[in-house]
Amino acid sequence: MGNVPTKLDQDGNPIEPVSRPGYPSGNTGSSSTGTSFSGQSTNDGKTRSKRATSLVSTFLNSGSRYRSGSMQDTTYHSPHKKRSTKEKEQMKEQHARNIIVKYDESVDGGFMAPFGSYSYDKLDYDATVVKSLIIQRRLAPFYTPLQDFDPTWSREELLKIVDGLPLHASFDENPEEFEDIPIGDLKKPNFDYLIDKSSSKKEYRNMHSKIFKARLYQKRIYWQERENESFLETKLEVREGKAQNNYLPSNDLKYDLYSNGSECPICFLYFPEPMNYSKCCQQPICTECFVQIKRAEPHFPHEEVDPTKPIQNDNEKDPNLLTTEPSNCPYCATAEFAVVYTPPKNRKVGIQGIPPATYKSVNEPSETNDKDETTTAKNPNNVVSSDAIRPDWENKLNKERIRLARRSANATAIHVSNQLIDPDYASTSNDTTISSSRKTTITTSRHGSNTASRGSRQRSRQSIQDLENEMIQEAIRLSLEDEQQQNKSLKNKSPKKK
Amino acid sequence: MASLPKRIIKETERLVTDPVPGITAEPHDDNLRYFKVTIEGPAGSPYENGLFHLELYLPDDYPMEAPKVRFLTKIYHPNIDRLGRICLDILKTNWSPALQIRTVLLSVQALLASPNPNDPLANDVAEDWIKNETGAKAKAKEWTSLYAKKE
């Protein structure tokens, strides 16, 4: 996907690579999660048990896991790495910048970012992928929609309406969600001073993430409004003859775009043709609706149950059964929704085309719009699947599986330890929890946790010291296994990824 | 979202200009996302001659999220529970943004015509339905005349 022009590249990555020293360092050195440290494990028994202790403490303070774990994880790049809060925030901010509509970044009369028909927190598609698909003319650009269209409008009437279109839909400036959340000075990157110093770690994290969200929301409004203003000013200057601007569309372009459009069957808004068409049933869909369509959240398969039997609780199900299916076509429910886009032949303007201001109508408007279905169907390059614009779906599924496995393992472990451990040795119950939680995380079967409980019943007679050591060793072994399995599954899957 | 999306406005208009036979849906004055709905029991079903009141709500993420639909009228049906909640695939996992208020209500009407006791929401009703279909249907008919009378 290397065809992104330089302007995008510059705008696209204003954030420099994360610098190590400035990192918030909660734990030092040995703070790694089970999945990450095996990469550097040694055979030295002492190192092992030392690391294992920190492993145990990592699990005990599972809250701080993310921040501490990331320090080491980021040193080598596995797709399963845990990211630090700061990195995640930078990625979110980067994404927010990527979905700003800019009038001087256009393709064939449309833009690189959505108009704003859907709420901001639903714009979780991969903006970089979508931008490059638009530039490659494999997906329709994000056109500014018309609320209505009347075929009896004259050219002048239509042009007047199109000229009045904003770059982006209006914002809800004070959404309920962010009421009462301080945002401080948006220009200053640090906002820790807004958080009550006496708050607990958990409260601090909660508040931090709320403030970050509220700030990002406002920043995005600010960034978009800056673009809106410069768009308006330029339009005004050009109209008054004070300036020339190559990025503003010519009247011919505006007319050709909007005189020949159709209504998207999902948002009911009117868009220029050509639109994207579903691969299976050739129904139109605008790009803004297309990027909304995604896999369902990970869930257990839905079965028809016998009402005479008791229902199995989701908590008791094997987390590995969690699944997501590629989204179906919204129109005909064919599996693995994908769209086909045939770019207009006579309208290559904007990025990798002629300046929008210099566009002149060609006399055969029918040709701009013909959909040559025979060639598109044969050319797999024109097909964009719904999964392609959210390549991280698999990661999300795995994360959810691990999260669920941990939760159910914890529940099992607490249950088991309550039954088995002598209340005098209360301190050990925590360790048991950890050890068997690792067990169930990996085996994730009932069988696995059963053997674990039988094992600990025998062990409960041994001295506590031995028990702890054993469990630590077991935790190491299992986390190594876990890591190996993840690597394996990665290797198996990576060739499929493009 | 502060303003009402164009789609909801257009759907509401089209429901008025081109109504579905046997179904009415009117938005509430205070909240245009909230609809008062009535569905006539399909002919040939135990619900025939009944008029069922429902409520339909379009969540913020509609049409990417399914409308929330609930029976207000008491009904004896294996896929509808005591609280009026409906077990219908298109209201859950099989929702598609290309579906509309109109198509949803048609599906609910179709569910009345063909109950599916193997995918129940009201377990006791479903059990009854499987073990003694004639009896269950008689009860459904009785409930219809008791609670879903046309005024």
Of B2, B61, B127, nearest to A308 by CB-CB distance is B127
Walk across the sheet containing A383-385 and list its strands. Answer: A284-285, A276-278, A338-340, A383-385
Confidence of residue A432 (pLDDT cuts 50, 70, 90): very low
Active site residue B87: yes
Tokens matching residue A494: 């990576």
Cβ contact B97–A118 (<8 Å): no
The residue that leads in pLDDT, A208 or A443, is A208
pLDDT exceeds cutoff 90 at B123 = no
User: Nearest Cα to A442, choosing from A482, A488, A394, A483?
Assistant: A482
Cβ contact B61–A122 (<8 Å): yes
pLDDT exceeds cutoff 50 at A6 = no
3-state DSSP assignment of residue A17: coil
pLDDT exceeds cutoff 50 at A453 = no
Interface of B with A in 23-52 (CB under 8 A): none
Q: Which of A35-39, A208-212, A436-440 has the lowest mean pLDDT?
A: A35-39
Calculate Rg over the CA atoms of chain A: 28
Confidence of residue A466 (pLDDT cuts 50, 70, 90): confident
Strands A276-278 and A383-385, bridge-based pairing: unpaired
Q: Burial-class residue A470 by CB neighbours within 10 Å (0-12, 13-18, 19+).
A: middle
Q: What are the two backbone dihedrals, phi and then psi, of residue A350, each rounded to the nearest 5 degrees?
A: 80, -145
pTM greater than 0.80 (yes/no): no
* C-alpha pair distances (Å), A94 with each of A15, A16, A47, A87, A406: 8, 11, 39, 10, 31
Confidence of residue A488 (pLDDT cuts 50, 70, 90): low
List CB contacts (< 8 A) between A147 and chain B: 6
Q: Which of B6, B15, B125 to mutate against chain A (most A CBs within 10 Å)?
A: B6
User: Nearest Cα to A361, choosing from A246, A256, A274?
Assistant: A256
Question: How far apart, in whole angstroms, are the C-alpha atoms of residue A57 and residue A183?
Answer: 34
Cβ contact A266–B98 (<8 Å): yes
Question: How far apart, in whole angstroms, are the C-alpha atoms of residue B81 and residue B92?
Answer: 16
Tokens matching residue A174: 């004070």
The proportion of chain A whose per-residue pLDDT surpasses 70, expressed as a percent, equals 65
Q: Which of A18-27, A79-88, A286-295 has the lowest mean pLDDT?
A: A18-27
pLDDT tens sequence across A111-127: 999 999 998 888 989 99
Confidence of residue A309 (pLDDT cuts 50, 70, 90): low
pLDDT tens sequence across B53-67: 999 999 999 999 999
3-state DSSP assignment of residue A472: helix
The rounded mean pLDDT for chain A is 73
pLDDT tens sequence across A397-415: 888 888 888 888 888 888 7
Cβ contact A304–B118 (<8 Å): yes
pLDDT tens sequence across B29-55: 999 999 999 999 999 999 999 999 999
* C-alpha pair distances (Å), A18 with each of A75, A83, A396: 11, 11, 23
What average pLDDT does range A68-91 have in this prediction? 59
Q: Given CB atoms, is B126 within the 8 Å cutoff of chain A?
A: yes
pLDDT winner (highest mean) among A285-289, A445-449, B120-124: A285-289
Q: Burial-class residue A448 by CB neighbours within 10 Å (0-12, 13-18, 19+).
A: middle
The residue that leads in pLDDT, A33 or A275, is A275
Buried-state track B115-151, b at ≥16 Cβ within 10 A, e below 16: bbbebbbbbebbbbbbeeeeebbebbbebbeeebeee
In the prediction, which pLDDT does A69 show? 37
Cβ atoms of residues A297 and A267 within 8 Å: no
Tokens matching residue A28: 């030092």
Confidence of residue B70 (pLDDT cuts 50, 70, 90): very high
